[in-house]
Structure 1
Amino acid sequence: MTRIYLDYNATTPLREEARAAMSAAMDLCGNPSSVHAEGRAAKSLVEKARAQIASAFGADGNDVIFTSSATEAAALAMAGTALQSAGIEHDAVLAWSTGDLPCNANGIVTVSKPANSTLQIANSETGILQTLPEGLALSDMTQGFGKLPVAFNWAGCTMALISAHKLGGPKGIGALVVKRGTDIAAQIKGGGQEMGRRSGTENIIGIAGFGAAAEAAQRDLEQGVWSRVSTLRDRLEKAIAQGAQDTICIGAKEKRLPNTSCLLTPGWKGETQVMQMDLAGFAISAGSACSSGKVKASRVLLSMGYSESDAASAIRVSLGPQTTEAEIDAFAAAWLAAHNKFRARAA
């Protein structure tokens, strides 16, 4: 059975450009902190990738601090702060913030004090986009970078989180992007790498893959790849709306990521849907899953005012540049068949 992957917001397939860059990096034996020729070659690779990411993200090269993930980047940015956030934020952000900013039924967050707040640019579960206020302290841009035409220098925030594996790069490498002049207290101290802001020998293989993936993602944006993906998303949602009138498409009337559909069918647990679709050959996600592996009601949907039962009855289908029309039609047919059986049992 051929598997169909529809969980791009969780992680993306590795781009060929990233694979090639990582393969080349494996042949370098130098430490980027060494002053000899081999060390300088490794350092040059790191700086090339930093420039690639900065260019794709609309930032300055020295503003990009490499970390092991966006989660580590959040800790680096937020440790010792008391930023406000909303309940729709990723756990990596909520671990360091208050979670008390108001979120309305459409998934839109109100920020009254930008300098003391963090706000994601796009929600990973619903795809709903936020308007970032000028002077915002921090924005989680992991889902937007590579899918949206966003430029850090024009976004109005002081810091941003990004991750390689959300745009076709490898897992285990992310970055904190900071506005020039921003003080960052190092959480990992030692050799003073990353301009003294994050010590530790650089993951040059991951960094090389990140840089190549960012460059390729920017090219995709310029070539309109994500406009094609949004057409596929709309095709899926139209099929679901015609065949399952009890199903709600969360945020359908809001500006969203071009690839994300959050589908809520009251009474039909998201966890059950994920398992049924997995057996049918499709990879999707439930509305929310905690680190222990137990599926819970979606905190995002609860924050938007949905009931506990409804918040546990959502799935996320997230597409990518490799997704085809045939795959969308196959998923819609399989999901609707399972939906009809669910309704027949519930009748």
Structure 2
Amino acid sequence: MTISRAYLDHNATSPVRPEVAVAVARALELPGNPSSIHHEGRAAKAALEAARDQVAALIGAGQSRVIFTSGGTEAANAVLSGALIRTGAAAPTRLLMSATEHACVGAGHRFAPGSVEIVPVHPSGLIDLAALKQALERARDESVLVSVHAANNETGVVQPLAEIVALAKAHGRALVHSDAVQAVGKIPLDFAGLGLDALTLSGHKFAAPKGTGAIVLAEGVALDRAFIRGGGQESRQRCGTENLPGLVGLGEAARIARVHLAGIDADLRNGTEAALRRIAPDAVVFGSGAPRLPNTLCFAVPGLDAATALMALDLAGIALSSGSACSSGKVARSTVLAAMGVSPALTAGALRVSFGWNSAESDRSRFLTAFERLVGTLYQRRGQAA
């Protein structure tokens, strides 16, 4: 007998939509290699390029500027390898990144330690634009790469990309990359309109298959060397036979996300947050003073340990997380919350609820019922200790 569960961890992975699964199954039946010139190869190539069109349309980019990868980490590693250049200009020699970047940026770049500067964030989680401006001024004689995520995976805080790009343009020799893994498919993004030089995304965050992603490059910007060398696929930037079924699924997920993007609202998140504050008046909601993704709620209740809470909620049939899912299953102190100035004691209790395409009011109610029991036990123990 299958026991129903409430899945509230879409920022870790959003389950594949049924329509996407159907598209993947159909693509599995295509026998050809997209690089082959015969009929079967051309059919596979057509499916691949249709997926590229769908991804480009979702984020407002040119179709020819989308390079498929195995996911967001590979994509970010490639962009931050030092190979990103503007035509006719030197490659960046200095990296400026926000203090709340995902590990694929913070640990995935290839810049020398002395060439990297961490730009602080405010307690709200928003980047300190004045500090970024000062960092750019200090690097006025260098070529610079600025990397700031579009939205944080733990808190959902949405960064002011337009202002960041404006500061970089004023510098004159700066390129801007955004890790948009958490933002794509959840909020509108206009790659060309924002003036970004590079954007990276991952399919499994918006209901596409795991192991799919992309790099998006602006006109006049390129990677000056292939990051996976071989037969010349993906405009000779990412060689190797493409994961056609997965990428067809990525394209279908992008198509669906574009259709539904305008209809995404924060009702479930806001209702949960309001109920949470009633259940636990001393709860702290991280990033509540900043723009946030409509699906994300990150909070802590003083004295409630995250590991204990996650196990109790899992036993109650509820899946959520304590933050990034990229910590190999362990509950460790969040570097994001630390950068926001949150105390270690409060960070130890951080929990993240993230809704998605198949979330329902019943999921929210189930979570709140179980959470109220947890908090009731915590408050009872406090009373006994007092």
TM-score tier, shorter chain, comes to over 0.9
Report whether the alignment pairs 1:88 with 2:90: no
1:183 aligns with 2:222: yes
8 Å Cα contact 1:85/1:101 also seen in 2 = yes
1:146 counterpart = 2:185: yes
Aligned to 1:342: 378
Q: Is the 8 A contact 1:287 1:297 kept in 2?
A: no
Over residues 136-175 of structure 1, what are the superposed CA-to-partner deviations in whole Å (9 max), with x where a residue is unaligned?
5100111111111111111221000111111110000100
- Preserved CA contact (<8 Å) 1:289 1:295: no
The amino acid across from 2:121 in the alignment is: C
1:109 aligns with 2:149: no
- Describe how 1:169-208 pairs up with structure 2 within 5 A: 169-184=208-223, 185-208=225-248
Alignment-mate amino acid for residue 63 of structure 2: G
Map 1:129-140 to 2 at 5 A: 129-132=158-161, 133-134=164-165, 135=168, 137-140=176-179
C-alpha displacement of 1:266? 1.7
Contact 1:87 1:99 (8 Å CA) reproduced: no
What is the CA-CA distance between 1:93 and the residue it aligns to? 0.6
Matched residue, 1:313: 349
Gaps of 5+ in 1: none
For 2:250, the equivalent position in structure 1 comes to: 210
Pairwise CA distance, 1:4: 0.6
Amino acid at match of 1:138: H
Determine if contact 2:233/2:241 at 8 Å carries over to the other structure: yes
- Structure 1 residues 292 and 26: alpha-carbon distance in aligned structure 2, compared to 1, 3 A threshold: closer
Shift in alpha-carbon separation, 1:193–1:87, aligned structure 2, 3 A: same
Distance 1:322 1:293, change over 3 A: closer
Greater radius of gyration (CA): 2
TM-score, length of structure 2 as denominator length: 0.86
- 1:59 and 1:168 map into 2 onto residues whose CA distance is 20
Report if aligned partners of 1:288, 1:299 keep a CA contact under 8 Å in 2: no
Report sequence identity in percent.
42
Aligned twin of 1:58: 60
Deviations 1:160-203 (A, max 9, x none): 01111111100001001011221202111010100011100010
CA contact (8 A) 2:6 2:366 kept: no
Q: More displaced, 322-331 or 63-72?
A: 322-331
Query: What is the letter of the counterpart of residue 77 of structure 1?
Result: V
- Counterpart Cα distance in 2 of 1:17 and 1:317: 25
Give, in whole Å, the separation in 1 of the partners of 2:374 and 2:53: 48
TM-score by length of 1: 0.95
In 2, Cα distance between equivalents of 1:288 and 1:140: 15
Contact 1:290/1:296, CA 8 A, preserved across alignment: no
* 1:100-151 CA-partner distances (Å, limit 9, x unpaired): 1111111011232395311011111111111012245100111111111111
Give the residue type in structure 2 aligned to 1:116. L
* Aligned-partner SS, 2:177: strand
Structure 2 counterpart SS, 1:74 = helix
Per-residue deviation, 1:290: 5.5
* 1:262/1:116 CA distance change after superposition, 3 Å: same
Amino acid in structure 2 at the alignment position of 1:53: V
Paired with 1:63 and 1:21, the residues of 2 have a C-alpha distance of: 23
Contact 1:288/1:297 (CA < 8 Å) preserved in 2? no
Q: Is the 8 A contact 2:96 2:145 kept in 1?
A: yes
Distance (whole Å) between structure 2 residues aligned to residue 293 and residue 221 of structure 1: 31
- CA RMSD, Structure 1 to Structure 2 (Å): 1.5
- Tell me whether 1:262 sits opposite 2:280 in the alignment: no
Q: Does the CA contact (< 8 Å) of 2:153 and 2:323 recur in 1?
A: no
Counterparts of 1:257 and 1:56 in 2: how far apart (Å)? 17
- Counterpart residue identity of residue 250, structure 2: F
C-alpha distance after superposition, 1:275-296 (max 9, x if no partner)? 1110110000013466343311
1:302 paired with 2:338, answer yes
